[in-house]
Every structure is written in structure tokens, then in C-alpha cells.
Amino acid sequence: MDEVKKEEVKEKEEEIKEDKKEVNCEELLAQKEQELKEWKERALRYAAEVENLKKSFKREKEEYYKFALEAVFKELLPSIDNLERAIEAFKESENLSALKQGVELSLKVMLQTLEKFGLKQFEPAIGEPFHPEFHEALSTEEREDIPDGGIAKVYQKGYKLHERIIRPALVGVATGKKVTKTEEKVNNQTDLKESAS
């Protein structure tokens, strides 16, 4: 009988252990479900924050591009004012010399202002070799005084913005003097006479 009681006690203990395990599993599952819910909420909040940041950056970028040239324009306004004053002064006095000086001064100030912001003007020299990265050829000219492929004429100056060409200089390129057939025959006859002697 003692053995039967012992077995019953063991069975009861095992049942209690099983019940405790089930309770622990249920508590653990509930705890994990709560953690999962919290992490989902955090992920949603972070996703919303990231989306808000994207929108904010987009607005700031649009605002930046919209007003990026504000400083340049503010610097150029005095040159525009000077040109307007020069035109008004010319209407009153019709002094061409004063108008010319006013326009030249305004151009100088305008170019200095643009240089502050990295824009530089360049003009190739006559005779300088043609470089396709800096120059755009509009025409060719037969020139004896300029080497073949050199610049014969400058139609328009070029501009660089921080060492990047934004407008190449428009130029005419020199070609060597073309030899006509008659000149070629005369040169050949001269060469033959010289080689015969």
C-alpha cells in the first residue's frame, strides 16, 4: 500500500510539474507576444519618422534650389542699376564717351561679381592651338601667318565654372595655304630642275 501511495504522489507531482510547464509556456508566449507588439509599434514609428525626414529633406532641397542663386543676383543688382543709370544719363546728355565708360565699368563689376562665385571668362589668343575641350570651331580660314590648326579668329569668349567649361569659346581655325594645281606643277618642275643640277 505504501507503494501505491508513493506512485500516486509521484503522479500528482508530475501533474503539478506539467501544469507549471503549461503555465510557464503560456506566460512566456504572452510575454513574447507583448514584446513583438512593442517592436512592431517601434518599427512603424521609425518608418513614419524616416518618411517625415524624406519629405523634410525634399522640401529643404526644393527651397535650396529655388533660392540658391539669391546671393549671385544680389551681387549683380548694382551692375544692373549702373547700366540703367548710364542709359538715363545718355538720354539727358547724349555723351557717348560717358556712356561707354559707364558700360565698361558695369561690365567689369559684373565680371568681378561672377568671378566671386567661380565663373571665369576666357578668350583664346590668335595663333593658339585649337583644343576641342575649350573651343568650338565655327569656320576655317586659310592663313599663312598661323600654323595649321591654330586659332585664326575668336567669335565669342568661353566661360568656366570652377574649372568646368560651361560654354566653349567659338573660334575660326586656320588651315595651311591650299596649293593649287598650277602651283603644284610649278613646284614639281622647280624640284626636278634642282635635282637635275
pLDDT in tens, 147-192: 999 999 999 999 999 989 999 999 999 997 654 555 555 555 555 5
Q: How many CB atoms lie within 10 A of CB 150?
A: 19
Evaluate whether residue 73 is within a structural domain.
no
Evaluate whether residue 80 is within a structural domain.
no
Helices (H), 117-174: none
pLDDT along the chain (197 residues), means of 10: 68 69 77 92 94 94 86 88 86 83 88 92 94 95 90 95 94 76 55 55
Residue-level pLDDT at 111: 92
Helices (H), the chain: 2-67, 70-93, 96-116, 181-196
Evaluate whether residue 160 is within a structural domain.
yes
Range of the domain at 147: 118-197
Residue-level pLDDT at 181: 52
Evaluate whether residue 70 is within a structural domain.
no
How many structural domains is the chain composed of?
Answer: 1
Residue-level pLDDT at 182: 56
DSSP string computed for 50-108: HHHHHHHHHHHHHHHHHHTTHHHHHHHHHHHHHHHHHHHHHHHH--HHHHHHHHHHHHH
Residue-level pLDDT at 178: 55
Evaluate whether residue 42 is within a structural domain.
no
Residue-level pLDDT at 40: 94
Residue-level pLDDT at 169: 96
Residues 124, 174: Cα–Cα separation, whole Å: 14
- Tens-digit pLDDT profile for residues 160-171: 999 899 999 999
Residue-level pLDDT at 165: 95
Evaluate whether residue 152 is within a structural domain.
yes
Residues 31, 34: Cα–Cα separation, whole Å: 5
Evaluate whether residue 94 is within a structural domain.
no
Answer yes or no: are the C-beta atoms of 172 and 138 closer than 8 Å: yes
Evaluate whether residue 156 is within a structural domain.
yes
What CATH number did the domain enclosing 197 receive?
2.30.22.10
